Structure 1
């Protein structure tokens, strides 16, 4: 069965370069062949198209061998900027075309960092747009600024009148936060706010954003400055003129690079994260204060509409049904759990609303749970810490406690108000797990080691109500 979250046959989706034209999202992406298990640039650019993020048309390879970049159209000509890595160098390249599949490279337009404002070491992922205020093109790049500290990651800035000759300017954003370059920069405006998006793999591994009322800054860091967690990366955005969407990848796990997966453990859940995986699309929404959030695209949500039977039995604790579509449990001093009678489908949406008391330590769902309740993937709302977490089965065991120097695998900050219902949407497609809370918080994950199991509900040291619990398929 072809995966719902797009991945090409026998390969994986790397960085996505989105473009919108003719009522279709044209998604260029770095195509990774599955057999080489590396980031080698032999993968090249491929193109797919979609108008619903559920069905994809494969256009094929685009004759561009290189790394992430940008596509824009000027009059009747398309311009494609990308990066190459000959003999360890990093260079920006330019190609043109009259359609989106056939490109003519312009070797004389290739250029490197200047080694005065920017280091030679990092010079990639160009993003180009017309700056109306200045009357010239701006190019943003993932780069390293010159400086005494190793925290030199920045978004470089260059300007041009003709898309051929570029002038080096001081970085658009250089906060001396990250040791690594600010990858896959993206820039857009909604209303009176400009938003700068970039990804980084040092200190914190995520796609970040900053906001400003001016392209000249200052660039403000919002309280929650990421769109998703560790399992969503290299995201770039595009608008269809009405809504803006963010395109990233949920990485696979095929190697245990650092030996963290316990030797006796046969599975893949605790292998290291790979480069590339499956395409994941979030819809960007702007809050009244200008900060950004993401939600599941309406078309993806609507695709799961065939309701499956869901009957539940209590395993521990006392479970009641005060209303027709409500399950409740009061367990202020202990863990209480219940299980559905049937295994979850391999591809499905789990939806429900959860309300909890003020002193509740944790509540949520178990995915692919077994009868003992430890062999499961836990999605937990933790009101005392204002976060939602994801834990796999090994974290419930002694092996997990001995192996990992951290408490949880994945977490997202979120304000969790007691005595209010919180919406939880979980999309499962094989090993992929996409979690949305309250329509403004996303957390991507992977589930490899347990392939079958039931949906469970739980509350730990508190009281909770679970309303309108549904399992639906495509």
Structure 2
């Protein structure tokens, strides 16, 4: 069975370079073969087509051997800007096409950092757009600015009249926050606000954004700067003219690409994250104050319409259980209930949750056993203003002694008592995509428990779970990729 969240056969999705035209998203991406790469196999940039983020048409390799970049159209010509890494150096490159499939590189347009404004090191992931105010093109690029400390990561800036000759300019954004370059820069405008997106793996790992009412800054850091958590990276955006979407990848833990797996770990959940995985698309939401959140795209959400029978039974604590509602009053204890049915490998779990002021935690246990401990915990923690993901490692005595972190994944979110929040969890094999309140997302992976039930829990408080549903796609062929 194909995975619902896209990846190519026998390979993985790396950075996505999205482009929208004629009612379809053209999704270029870095095709990650990993250790199954063989001589003669196409790699580098590949192209997908999709209208709904559910069905994909595979258009194959673009014959471009390079890293992340950007696509724009000028008159009748498509321009691809990308990067290459010869002999440990980094350069920006330019290619053109008439059909988005056959590309002609322009070797004389290749260039690297200047060594004066920018260090002769990181120089990758170019993003090009027309600056109406200046009447010329701007290129944003992942770079290192000259400076007295190692915190040189920046969003570099260049300008051009013809897309061939570029003038080096002072960085668009150089906050001295990151040791590494600001990867995969992206820029767009919604209303009065400009938004700058970049990804970083130093200081804090993720895809972040800044906001400004002018391209000249200042670039404001919002209260929560990330779109997702540790398991979502290199995200870039594209709009269909009505909504804007964010395209990133949920990394695997399959291959220990960086050699950091703990030697005595019992299973994969304890392992480190790889580069690349499955493509995940979030819809970008602009709040009234201009800050951004993300939600599941409506087309992905509505793909799960076959409602399964769900029967809960209380295991511990005082539960009132009706057809689609669960109420638990447990002011001093942990309480849990569980379904009689096993969870499918591919499904959506949803519920509207409400809780009391003093509650310590509440949420879902995914792939739970009857004892309600060996499971994946998705927890709302109102008193800490966060949502967390914990695997089975922390519930065991061995894990409690050795696991070095309080939680495995977390996302900040202000949770108010007596307010209703919609919680949606999408499961696809090892992939777990979590959305809360229509504005916060948390990506995760689940390896060591492959089967189990759905359980609800309440820790030291009162909570309601209403409109509880487990749904699957109506048609199993929904995962099937459309061939070109």
TM-score between the two structures when normalised by the length of structure 2: 0.95
SS in 2 for 1:305: strand
User: Aligned pair 1:395/2:407, yes or no?
Assistant: no
Other-structure match for 1:88:
88
Other-structure match for 1:205:
205
Work out the CA distance in 1 between the residues paired with 2:285 and 2:365. 29
- Is residue 324–residue 469 contact of structure 2 (8 Å, CA) maintained in 1? no
- Is residue 363–residue 457 contact of structure 2 (8 Å, CA) maintained in 1? yes
- Is residue 393–residue 403 contact of structure 2 (8 Å, CA) maintained in 1? no
Residue ranges of structure 2 left out of the alignment (5+ in a row): 474-484
Question: What is the 5 A alignment of 1:258-337?
Answer: 261=262, 263=264, 265=266, 267-321=267-321, 325-337=324-336
Query: CA 1:182 to 1:42, structure 2 compared with 1: closer, same or farther past 3 Å?
Result: farther
Other-structure match for 1:366:
365
Other-structure match for 1:172:
172
Question: What is the 5 A alignment of 1:66-465?
Answer: 66-256=66-256, 261=262, 263=264, 265=266, 267-321=267-321, 325-465=324-464
Other-structure match for 2:480:
none
- Is residue 42–residue 65 contact of structure 1 (8 Å, CA) maintained in 2? no
Work out the CA distance in 2 between the residues paired with 1:451 and 1:326. 27
Pairwise CA distance, 1:398: 2.2
Work out the CA distance in 2 between the residues paired with 1:226 and 1:91. 28
- Is residue 71–residue 78 contact of structure 1 (8 Å, CA) maintained in 2? yes
- Is residue 260–residue 404 contact of structure 1 (8 Å, CA) maintained in 2? no
Which moved further from structure 2: 28-37 or 349-358? 28-37
Partner deviation per Cα, 1:242-268 (whole Å, 9 max, x = no partner) = 110000000000245566546261x21
SS in 1 for 2:384: coil
Work out the CA distance in 2 between the residues paired with 1:209 and 1:191. 16
Pairwise CA distance, 1:395: 1.1
- Provide the alpha-carbon RMSD of the alignment: 1.4
Work out the CA distance in 2 between the residues paired with 1:258 and 1:44. 23
Residue ranges of structure 1 left out of the alignment (5+ in a row): none
- Is residue 28–residue 46 contact of structure 2 (8 Å, CA) maintained in 1? yes
SS in 1 for 2:419: coil
Partner deviation per Cα, 1:71-94 (whole Å, 9 max, x = no partner) = 101001111000000000000111
Pairwise CA distance, 1:325: 3.1
User: Aligned pair 1:467/2:466, yes or no?
Assistant: yes
Q: Please identify runs of 4+ aligned residues in structure 1 that moved more than 3 A.
A: 255-262
Pairwise CA distance, 1:419: 1.2
TM-score between the two structures when normalised by the length of structure 1: 0.97
SS in 2 for 1:149: coil
Between Structure 1 and Structure 2, how many residues are aligned? 470
